[in-house]
Amino acid sequence: MILTDGQILACIDDGSIVIEPFDRECLGTNSYDVHLGRTLAVYDDEVLDARKHNTITTFDIPDDGYVLLPERFYLGVTAEYTETHAHVPFLEGKSSVGRLGIDIHATAGKGDIGFCNFWTLEISVKQPVRVYAGMPIGQLIYFAVDGHVINPYNRKQSAKYNQKTSMPVESMMFRNFPAEAE
């Protein structure tokens, strides 16, 4: 079951959903609009290696915008910090963003109960497009769950993205592989 606007507001009131900053105008019928943060990142290497820590370079979007290119892959971040303690959050692109040829996540559109952070966006574009910090970029949809959660994300020892940051975060896939002997 997807939460309605009234249910989202009730969950914000009881603290089971946190959105900072919260703007009532961004609340849709059954979703909440999130915005592109000021910072983007690109990987430093052309070839990425899933077994290694691939480093990124971050930069701020200028006031007059930044042109995303189809041959590049970008990491972005939401302007909003969120916490979800009793529901499964899904981040989806807005239709107006999709109609510009912008994809905001490659595969990671679902959060976990207990996710408490800014959302890193996995951005690719179909053709060059200028984007701006603060523009609407996606919408959070909250799903109710059935049953008790034993291990929320923010308490998992193995969670790779628990460190609170308003910066895009690179892949931590390398942590899934055992350390190589030197």
Give the catalytic positions in this structure.
122
Distances (CA, A) of 149 to 45, 85, 112, 179: 39, 10, 10, 31
Q: Which amino acid is at 32?
A: Y
Give Cα 48 to chain centroid, integer Å.
Answer: 21
Distances (CA, A) of 57 to 45, 64, 108, 122: 10, 20, 21, 15
Kindly report the number of other CB atoms within 10 A of residue 170's CB atom: 18
Q: Residue 132, SS3? A: coil
Q: Residue 76, SS3? A: strand
Output the six-digit token pair for 38. 């000021």
